[in-house]
Structure 1
Amino acid sequence: MLGSSETVGKMSGLFGNDSVYPKVQTEVYKKISELSGFYRLDDIYLSLIDQYMFPCLILNDRGEIVASSESADQYLKSSKGNIHQAFPASLSVQVNAALQRAKKEKKVSFKNVPIYLSGELSFVHLTLKSFFRQYHKLYVLFIEKAKEEAARVPVSGGEDGQLHLQHLYRTVKELEASNDALVSANQKLQEENKKLTALNRAFEKKVNELNTLKNDLNNLLTSTNIAAVFLDQELKLKLFTPEAANMFDLKKEDLSRPADKLTERFNYKEYADDIKRTLYENKTVVKEFEMPNGGWYTVKMIPYYASGKKVEGIVVTFTNVTELKMTNEALHISSQAIDQSPANILLTSVDGSVTYANKRFCRMLEKHLDDLIGGDVFNIYRKHFHCDDLNRFWKHVLDKKPWSGELHYQDGEQQDRWEQISLIPVEDSAGNVHQVMLISEDITNQKRSEKMLMKSEMLSAVGQLAAGIAHEIRNPLTSLKGFLQLMIQSKKYQKDYAEVMMSEFIRLEAIINEFLVLAKTKSTTFDPVQVNSIVEDVCMVLESQAVLNNVRIEKQLSGDLPEILAVSNELKQVFLNILKNAIEAMEDAEGFITIRSYYEKDSVFITFEDQGKGISKDVLEKLGEPFYTTKEKGTGLGLMVTFKIIENHGGSIHFESEEGKGTTVKLKLPIKE
Structure 2
Amino acid sequence: MNSPVEVMKSKKRNVLEKYVNDFRKEKLFTSNVDAILILDLSGLSVEMNSSFERLTGYTNEELKKITFQSLIQMEDLDNYLNYFCKSVLGQYHHFDCKIKNKFGEITDLNVMNIPIVVEGQIVGIQMIAKDITHLKKKEKEIRKIENIHSVMSENVMDIMLTTNIMGNILYISPSCQTILGYQSDELMGKHLSILIHKDDKEKAFCDREKLITNLECNRGTYRFLRKDGSYAWVESICKPVMDRDTQNISEVVSVIRDITEHVKAEEELYTRRKAYRDIVEKSPDAIVMAKNDKILFINEMGINLLKANSAKDFIQKSILDFIPSDYHTKAKERMMLISKGETTNFSEYEIIRMDGSTFTAEIKSIPTFFQNEPAIHVIIRDITERKKTQELLLNSEKLTIAGQLAAGIAHEVRNPLTAIKGFLQLMEAQLNNKTYFSIIQSEMDRIELILSELLILAKPQDLKFERENLSSLIEEVKTLIDTQAIMNNVQIYILNEYQDLVVKCDRNQLKQVFINFLKNAIEAMPEGGIVTIEIKKLGTNKLKIFFKDTGIGIPQSILKRIGEPFFTTKENGTGLGIMISKQIIENHNGTVHFWSDKKGTMIEVILPIDNKQ
**TM interval, short-chain normalised:** 0.3 to 0.5
TM-score (norm 2): 0.39
Higher radius of gyration, 1 or 2: 1
Higher relative contact order, structure no. (Cα contacts within 8 Å, ≥ 6 residues apart): 2
TM-score (norm 1): 0.36
